[in-house]
Amino acid sequence: MKIIVTGGAGFVGSALVRYLINETHHQVVVIDKLTYASNLESLRDVSDNERFSFIRSDICNRSAMEDIFENYQPDRVIHLAAESHVDRSISGPEDFIKNNIIGTYVLLEVSNLFWSSLPENKKNNFKLLHVSTDEVYGDLGENSQNLTSENSAYAPSSPYAASKASSDHLVWAWWRTYGLPVVITHCSNNFGPYQYPEKLIPLVILNAISGKNIPIYGNGEQVRDWLHVDDHIRAIYSILEKGKIGDSYNISSNNEVKNIDLVTTICSILDDIFPESKNKPHNNLIEFVEDRLGHDFRYALDTKKLNKEIGWKSEVGFEDRLKETVLWYVRNFKWLETIQKY
């Protein structure tokens, strides 16, 4: 199959592209406009593969997108291109409105035009998978026993979450109105290698190694549901093949962790890796800072549907994955030199 991956030079997208090239026989076309959050080095391992193509383009550019669809004739589209950092959406929401909402609208229009023109057999085979977030459901109460399911109401808090919720609504509208075959996935917080170091886990690792303060919002009691990026992309791939058209699936490995516990665990992993470090114990670097505006307290996803219908479950335990991730950043300082500075 030919698979278009938008946002394939970002953190999750590049993991997905490495997986598709290394573990499947599909052809992959990455469309990415290369914002600060992207890094072509993350695709270096697959860039020479003859099944891999890269196109630098903005998904908001309709005529460029029409040409790409016409030239590549995709069987699948996996849509990840987005502005993804909540703090940036609070200080400057405009890019989120443009890339996440208008960008998704253009992608839907172009996909629909392309799909409508296909012969019946190809039409029945086409699918667009939209990668969304647990943040569209908003804050889950601290003591809520009911985890967030696919039927929970949308209640986004940040401009980022609202832009993703808007893009979800557009995707549903194109399914309900035009019949465009779509599936939506909602995943929890990802971690793993090649993540831009403004996100919590790489930020903590890099600040701790360099002896800089480790900022934690508020009292650090907020709970996030951590998912390794490799687990995430395996789930996306399974849903792409087995997911029901017009349906949505939550993806998480049910690892609810308080921010403060996550950070102290990373610090103690670093204490073990660098027993002679002058920054040891690294948790002395923790600094509680003013809470994020509109900060959601807890996200936690119900994944029964994913487990039952798709037969997916996480393969590796959280602690092992976290250690592996810390080691990756320690060993890959070179990759960090290649990121675009913010």
Ligand X SMILES: NC(=O)c1ccc[n+]([C@@H]2O[C@H](COP(=O)([O-])OP(=O)(O)OC[C@H]3O[C@@H](n4cnc5c(N)ncnc54)[C@H](O)[C@@H]3O)[C@@H](O)[C@H]2O)c1
Looking at the annotation, which residues are catalytic? 134-135, 160
In the complex, the smallest distance separating the C-beta of residue 124 from ligand X, rounded to whole angstroms, is 27
Residue 336 touches ligand X, criterion: CB under 6 A: no
CA 9, CA 40: separation in Å to the nearest integer? Answer: 6
Q: How many residues does the chain have?
A: 342
In the complex, the smallest distance separating the C-beta of residue 305 from ligand X, rounded to whole angstroms, is 17
Nearer to ligand X (CB atom), residue 88 or residue 282: 88
In contact, 129 and 76? CB cutoff 8 Å: yes
Q: Where are the beta strands (DSSP E) in 243-317?
A: 247-251, 256-258, 286-289
CA 13, CA 11: separation in Å to the nearest integer? Answer: 6
Residue 222 touches ligand X, criterion: CB under 6 A: no
* Among residues 34, 118, 273, 327, the one that binds ligand X under rule CB under 6 A: 34
CA 258, CA 312: separation in Å to the nearest integer? Answer: 25
In the complex, the smallest distance separating the C-beta of residue 168 from ligand X, rounded to whole angstroms, is 11
CA 89, CA 93: separation in Å to the nearest integer? Answer: 4
Nearer to ligand X (CB atom), residue 6 or residue 248: 6
CA 205, CA 201: separation in Å to the nearest integer? Answer: 6
Stretch that binds ligand X, among 27-35, 63-71, 109-117, 169-177 (CB under 6 A): 27-35
In the complex, the smallest distance separating the C-beta of residue 162 from ligand X, rounded to whole angstroms, is 12
DSSP H or E run through 29: strand 27-32
In sequence order, which residues have a C-beta less than 8 Å from that of residue 57 and are 6 or more positions away? Answer: 31, 32, 33, 64, 65, 68
Residue 33 touches ligand X, criterion: CB under 6 A: yes
SS3 312: coil
Nearer to ligand X (CB atom), residue 161 or residue 214: 161
Q: How many CA atoms lie within 13 A of 101 on its CB side?
A: 14
Stretch that binds ligand X, among 2-10, 115-123, 147-155, 176-184 (CB under 6 A): 2-10
Stretch that binds ligand X, among 143-151, 189-197, 212-220, 323-331 (CB under 6 A): 189-197
In the complex, the smallest distance separating the C-beta of residue 184 from ligand X, rounded to whole angstroms, is 11
Token output for 44? 């270096």
* Among residues 104, 190, 222, 283, the one that binds ligand X under rule CB under 6 A: 190
Interface ranges with ligand X (CB under 6 A): 6-7, 9-13, 31-35, 37-38, 58-60, 80-84, 99, 103, 131, 133, 164, 187, 189-190, 196
